Structure formats: C-alpha cells, structure tokens
Amino acid sequence: MEREIACRPIGTVKRTEGGISVLEVFPEFCEGLNRLTTFSHIFVLYWFHERDTENGRRVLRVRPKKHPGAPLVGVFASRSPDRPNPIGLSVVRLLGRDGCRLEVEGLDALEGTPVLDIKPYIPRADAISEARAPEYTLEGPPT
Amino acid sequence: MEREIACRPIGTVKRTEGGISVLEVFPEFCEGLNRLTTFSHIFVLYWFHERDTENGRRVLRVRPKKHPGAPLVGVFASRSPDRPNPIGLSVVRLLGRDGCRLEVEGLDALEGTPVLDIKPYIPRADAISEARAPEYTLEGPPT
C-alpha cells in the first residue's frame, strides 16, 4: 500500500538573488519547455532537499513561521517545508527562457534545490479569487 | 545528480462520482489535517499511477487533449498526465472533513490514485487573476 514512488529531478535551482531565480532544466528534458513562455506564470514543484530527513517527514503539526499570529495547524493546512513529502509548490512569474534556463520571479527556494516538475498556470482553473483563507495568511510574506 | 527521490503516498482517492471525490488520508498522517477546513480550497498533489511507465515518463511533447485547437507543446507547458514525473496538481473546493476523509469538488483523478500532498490554497499568493495564458486554454474543461 505504501510503496515508495520514484520521483526524479528534471532540473535544479541554479541561482537565486533578490527575488529572481534561474532554473536549469537538464538537457534531456529541455524540449519539454517548448511554448512555456506563452504563459505568464508557472507552477514550480520542487523538493525541499534539506528537509528530507526522517524527523522532518514525521512532522504533523506546525506553527506557520511566516504568518505572525498563526495558530498550531496540521501540516497539510500549512506550506511548511517539513512535511511527509517535502514537495514545495510555488506560483512564479516567468520572466524568460534561454535554452534550458528559465528566469522566474517569486520562487522561495534555495540554490541547488531539485526541481520535480513545471506546469503552466491556467487562470481559468487555478485563479480562485473568491477562495477563503484564515486572516493570519494576510500577515507576513504570502506563503 | 539524478538520484531518485522517495515520495510516499499519504493517502488515496477513495471514490469519485459526479465531480465529487473522497480522499482518504492514511491514519498515521490524519493529524496533519487539523484546521484544514479553515480553507475553502486546497491543492491536491497526486501520482498518475497508471501513467507511471518508462514510455509515459519519456514524453516531452504533447497536444493538450482537453483543449480543442491546442498546438503541440512541450510537456511542461501542459497539464498532461504523461510527463517525466507524473505528478498531478489540482485546485479543488474542500467540501468537508470527516476524520481522515476529505470530500472535495473538482478533482479529476481516478479511484485508487495515490495522494502525495495536500496544501492550503492561499489566495494572496496563489490567485493570480492577471496571469496570461494562450486562448486555447479557454476552450474545453479548465485543465
């Protein structure tokens, strides 16, 4: 039932500075970036590799650090990097593409972070402006 | 460089009918759902287990099936289930929780699909209403 699933990095966070990051997709996957720049925003799925420890993956309750005043919540009600599968998810602005490299704005991931997937942000499906969230999510940085 | 990363299912899609799905989180992770219902929408990350084949994971160009008129695009510019890491991502409405079970609306995943992660949808960060996408994404179902 709980077999392990083999995820393989498709690239890596090469550089990150002043809110701008460069993602480098490995050459064998580079063709998969075709027409990506027809989207202004993308989802980046990555692996919090520094949190990939047995202890980090056992965390079930967290106090969201970035939101002052947040209560203790279940890990699935948070964007904590400590979680059973330390997968990070960010919506970022796609600034440009140069071959296998993407320049993006708003990715809060360390250099060397393995990238698992890239998906287009489709506002019709993904932009739910009427979604409700607790008030504490309005304090501090977005996630 | 391309070491495999061990993802472990945290639950499964139990039932899906008429656009409504029941997710069952395994008992050992159930505590992680605490306070999830303070959010109206959540991200569900899952594994397209029926596409987890060497051939499916080699696909780099696809024609998005759900959008009539879509051109051939790179797999990362699509939400295709055939992709190097067949991770599915959906924004769904959280209808309710009963213990380890969540009822959600809008999850387009088969029964038996392994769930990898659940995250709160935080409109401040995730609802980008001004995002641009190609016109063909307006045709057919959302993703």
Write down the CATH number for the domain with range B11-124+131-138: 2.40.30.70
Nearest Cα residue to B12 out of B142, B133, B111, B95:
B111
DSSP annotation of B78 reads S
User: Which residues 10-29 in chain B show a CB within 8 A of chain A?
Assistant: 10, 25-26, 29
Which H or E run contains A123? helix A123-126
**Euclidean distance between CA atoms A71 and A63, whole angstroms:** 6
Cβ contact B131:B96 at 8 Å: no
Distance between CA atoms of residues A126 and A108, nearest Å = 20
Tens-digit pLDDT string for chain B (143 aa)? 457 899 999 999 999 999 999 999 999 999 999 999 999 999 999 999 998 999 999 999 999 988 888 999 999 999 999 999 999 999 999 999 999 999 999 998 999 999 999 999 999 999 999 999 999 999 888 77
Quote the pLDDT of residue A75. Answer: 98
Every domain of chain B and the residues it spans: 11-124+131-138
Cβ proximity of A64 and A34 under 8 Å? no
| Tens digit of each residue's pLDDT (9 = 90 or more) over A80-104 | 999 999 999 999 999 999 999 999 9
Chain A nearest CA to B84, separation (Å): 7
Smallest Cα distance from B109 to chain A, Å: 15
State how far the Cα of B32 lies from the Cα of B60, in Å rounded to an integer: 35
Assigned CATH topology for domain A11-122: Elongation Factor Tu (Ef-tu); domain 3 (2.40.30)
Rg (CA), chain B: 16
Predicted confidence band of residue A17 (pLDDT cuts 50, 70, 90): very high
Scan residues 101-140 of B and list those with Cβ closer than 8 Å to A. 114, 116-134, 137-138
